[in-house]
């Protein structure tokens, strides 16, 4: 049982699933699964049938110019030409509609892997940048508590919602719209802290 990654949530799942168990996205089932050797075999047979068709066509045209074709066209040149057309049509269908999609599938899988790698690299870079930002915020918060300078003072503990160190006392401006609408039933009445990063308040 092989493992694949969902293109919706990028989580690893079984390839036998019809849809992702995490995000529910339907998985595309590849109808054509020719191997590379079968694909090359189809290409060879297509080339052979094309050569046979051209040979029979030349023989047919020569016989027609020489006047050796009878009225009903049931001589060898006509039969060979008809047979070569059938072969060419069959192997053309087999190669272009059954074998060629494999290359498109491989390209799609390659593009998908590149997309997953780019997503993971971007996610890691974003997480590293956010961690660096949190470290700077924590340092700023600690300095704001110990310095008498013109600091925007922040608490030295992180926001319970986003983890950033931009926690300050909640003031009336943070509550006035909620209190004006809900009155004493507002959930923000008893909130004493606010995070300037995510905007959440809590008590």
What is the spatial distance between Cα 190 and Cα 114, in angstroms, rounded to a whole number? 49
Model confidence over 15-39: pLDDT tens digits? 677 788 888 877 665 444 455 566 6
- Which is more confidently placed, 151 or 87? 87
The sheet carrying 193-195 orders its strands as 167-169, 193-195, 201-202
Task: Give the DSSP letter of residue 184.
Answer: G
pLDDT value for 32 = 46
Percent of all residues in the chain with a pLDDT value above 90, rounded to a whole number:
0
Q: What is the pLDDT of residue 37?
A: 65
Mean pLDDT of the chain: 76
The yes-or-no verdict on residue 133 having pLDDT over 70 is: yes
CA 120 from chain centre, in angstroms, equals 12
Give dist(CA 35, CA 18) in Å, integer.
23
CB 168 within 8 A of CB 154: yes
96: pLDDT strictly greater than 70: no
Cβ distance 119 to 10 under 8 Å?
yes
pTM: 0.40
pLDDT surpassing 60 at residue 103:
no
pLDDT at position 109: 64
* Burial state string for 135-160 with b = 16 or more CB within 10 A and e = fewer than 16: eebbebbeebeeeeeeeeebbeebbe
Q: Which two tokens stand for residue 34?
A: 């020719």
């Amino acid at each position: 049982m092989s493992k694949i990654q969902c293109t919706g949530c990028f989580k690893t799942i079984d390839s036998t699933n019809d849809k992702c168990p995490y995000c529910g996205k339907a998985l595309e089932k590849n109808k054509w699964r020719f191997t590379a050797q079968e694909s090359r075999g189809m290409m060879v047979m297509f080339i052979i049938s094309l050569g046979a068709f051209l040979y029979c066509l030349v023989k047919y045209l020569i016989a027609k110019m020489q006047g050796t074709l009878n009225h009903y066209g049931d001589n060898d040149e006509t039969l060979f030409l008809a047979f070569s057309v059938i072969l060419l049509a069959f192997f053309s269908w087999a190669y272009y509609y059954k074998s060629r999609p494999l290359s498109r599938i491989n390209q799609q899988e390659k593009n998908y892997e590149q997309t997953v790698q780019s997503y993971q690299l971007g996610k890691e870079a974003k997480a590293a940048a956010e961690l660096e930002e949190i470290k700077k915020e924590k340092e700023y918060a600690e300095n704001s508590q110990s310095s008498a300078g013109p600091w925007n003072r922040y608490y030295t503990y992180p926001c319970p919602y986003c983890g950033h160190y931009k926690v300050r006392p909640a003031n009336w401006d943070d509550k006035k719209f909620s209190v004006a609408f809900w009155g004493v039933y507002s959930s923000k009445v008893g909130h004493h802290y606010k995070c300037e990063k995510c905007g959440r308040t809590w008590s």
